[in-house]
Amino acid sequence: MTLYRWILVLATVLLLAASIYTWIYRPGSEVVVVTTTSLYATGFLDMAREAYESIYPGSIVKIVSLGSGAALEAASRGDGEVVFAHAPSLEKQYIERGVLREGRIIMYNYFVIVGPPDDPANISGAETPIEAFRRIYQAGLEGRAIFISRGDNSGTHVKELELWRLAGIEPSGDWYIESGSGMGQTLLIADEMGGYTLSDIGTYVIYRSEGRIALEKLYEGGDELINIYSIYLVEGAGDEARRFYSYIVENIDMLIDLFNQEAGTKIFYKASEYDGSLRDTWETLAGDAD
């Protein structure tokens, strides 16, 4: 075979290989993921994105961090194809509207009530989170405490409002301050002002371990403070979004193990670790706001 023919064959093989690579990996394909700020603040999604993009070179995962309510609304406008959320009552509304077509509970942890080390409302002695909120309210009326609410229709804000409702309290007054911010910024404000706030455990642990806040974890535990994370595909999502969704669902246990190991503590729990039906718990939470 002449040199020319060898060059022609080699060029044909290389072109065929490039075509196959392009077909498999679709370089430049992008998926927009909208997520709750509390999940993003932990660094979990950045880790998941890096793992996914290392397996599928050329794929781009763009993460937009919003409160759960804003994330779901963005999805309804077509501004995202995959959604991470932790607000069952809000999620249910978008499922019923047909915005969210496929979904899976992927993991859980718990909300915690954090506050100044001297705990002026003495919530560390409360028997339930409802009692803790009542103590904060009373201390607030007496000028001894303040509460920083996210006030952003996020999953954390929805949970906070649920706790006030169960306590029979409609919070208002100088002691009750809305940050209108994500979880990290709200923690920083609470720390600066010496106030209480409700936080997901993940963001609190990360900020505390980094020395960014001195707030103490004053109340934790119990199903009343369970925090369930789900992933959804949005109606009309493309192939890249479906591939990313499938990757998360199929590898979530491995991702949780890897993240907890890197964090040095157990921040997220696998759905299979829950003692009972996590779906039933989700359904109960989803029905609370109806």
The residues facing 225 across adjacent strands are none
For each of the domains in the chain, give its residue range(s) and CATH number, in order of start. Answer: 21-109+226-287 (3.40.190.10), 110-225 (3.40.190.10)
Which range in 26-35, 55-64, 140-149 is most confidently predicted, on average pLDDT? Answer: 140-149
Question: Is the distance from CB of 227 to CB of 111 less than 8 angstroms?
Answer: yes
> How do strand 216-219 and strand 100-115 relate by DSSP bridges?
antiparallel
pLDDT one-digit tens code per residue, 13-34: 444 444 444 444 444 489 999 9
pLDDT class for 37, splitting at 50, 70, 90?
Answer: confident
Contact criterion met (CB below 8 Å) for 90 and 72? yes
List Cβ neighbours of 247 (8 Å cut-off, separation of 6 or more).
52, 55
What residue has token string 């720390």? Answer: 191
Q: Which of 118-122, 251-255, 263-267, 285-289 has the lowest mean pLDDT?
A: 285-289
> Residue 20 has which token pair?
């196959």
Q: What is the pLDDT of residue 1?
A: 52
Q: What is the pLDDT of residue 215?
A: 98
Cα separation, 88 vs 169, whole angstroms? 22
Place of tokens 């004053």: 218
d(CA 150, CA 213): 17
Mean pLDDT along residues 146-162:
94
Q: What is the mean pLDDT of residues 87-113?
A: 94
